[in-house]
Structure 1
Amino acid sequence: MEKSEVSLPTHGIVIAATPLGNPADASPRLIAGLENADVVAAEDTRRVRSLAASLGVEIRGKVVSNFDHNEDSRTSDLIAAARTGLVLVVSDAGMPVVSDPGHSLVSAAHDAGIPVTCFPGPSAVPTALALSGLNVGHFIFDGFAPRKQGARQTWLESLVGEKRAVCFFESPHRTAQTLEHAAEVLGGERRAAVCRELTKTYEEVRRGTLPELAAWAADGVRGEVSIVIEGGTGPAVEPADLVGLVLAREEAGMRLKDAAKEVAREHGVKVSSLYDEALAAKKQK
């Protein structure tokens, strides 16, 4: 399709997906939008100019930055521009709003009655899910994994009984630690896939159990990383039903917390819930 054949809105907000790494994934509407939009609001202005150059496109409109730390202050100006002209919103790669800037502007545009549409295209989430080779018929997306260990522990415990697959992003520097932590909480049989550098020259998908992937990642992981963890079977029992096992192991010499952790992982329930139940039962005795 020739660029001249692409129909563009006369005004409003357009959320446009950009290639994850391979410029050939750019849609004809994205190309036309970059060339003809009155304003291009980009997460990184240098990246969008580089993308345009690789596509052989000249950006004729005004290019402004629109990233996490200035998005709220930028919104009113972009809304004003969208009343009479076309504002194209792009992130560094993939779909804006999905763990990227865009939400504040889209929400404000709806509130103001400004037309909002989307030029669909690449997104790391469905790409990773499709490549994972896991059961992903039902899934959730959790953005970036929590950085702090306590928050990550709580998040992973919430996935113990989650029957849907979960997809999330992770820094390459924390991938090994997160996989190791996930293996501890979710168990050694839970399968996952690590997808890195999607659509790029060194694209790689590693699938296996969480311990296997943690061992592989221990040598270091490079590039942008998306992880998919297969859903669990759900807890077969309630934490209260397992209190006796925990107390028995404590009487055999284990610390209560260690006993709760071990039993919880064997039976697929939250460690914190089981520990609280066991502690309450012990106090009652």
Structure 2
Amino acid sequence: MKDLELCEQYGFDYIDIQSECLDRDLAVGKTTLEALGTWFETHHLKMLSYNALCGFNMKATQAERRKVLDQLDEIIYRCGILHCDTIVVVPSMDLQTDATRAQIRKDAVEVLQAALEHCRPHKIRLSLEFCGAPAMSINRFEDAYAIVNDVGADDLGITLDQYHFHAMASGWDALEKADGRKIFIWHLNDMEDLPCGAPYNDDTKRLWPGEAAGCLDHQRYARALKQNGFMGDVCTVEVFRPEYYRLTQEENIRKAAEVVKKHVARYWENAV
């Protein structure tokens, strides 16, 4: 709750609530879904997405797939209380089979089509987040985009995290040619200049966007999204660097607001 108050204080319009953070606070009684829903009704800050339904694809049995859809139903129920219309879905990792990209693509399409049937009565969208790690089953933008195209539904899009895009060397040509209307969420960050796919190139190497040690081409991200018709009108900041967790809540959120405002002014407003 303090995070929410501070985000509003420092000028944020939206927040992606992390499921593990929400589950933790609900479990120890720090808040309730109903209290959160009432808070969002009476404040400017709103939920951009419920982040996330993790490990949705490549299940070995129908029972495991059913469990994923049951979990989705619980998240849909929560979104109704929290006034949230977008759920991020994250692929499975460390598969126990030597699945090809084609097999992963086919399975993801089938699961996402079923998931959308659960979401549509509640007017909730799904946003597929590819994750730039070697062990992830969907780890590049072009693979995620192909899956979204195969499903071909307006209520399915992509979460574009700049770190994930770079970490497994997703192709700029694919992003620049993409239909920006299919990109629902844009996560800002920067990262240390490490080899793509290296086992030590993980979330702990993320940086605030604009840090001197960062290596990401922010101008190109902004230009690509503006030119391909990105309609989200929102960017969020997502960093998991351990030293940032050592800041106080207020220091962390104040810094996040500062770097995002500076980033938008420098890159998005001037992108052509």
Q: Higher helix proportion, which one?
A: 2
Same fold (TM over 0.5): no
TM-score, normalized by length of structure 1? 0.24
Higher Cα radius of gyration: 1
Using the size of structure 2 for normalisation, the TM-score is 0.25
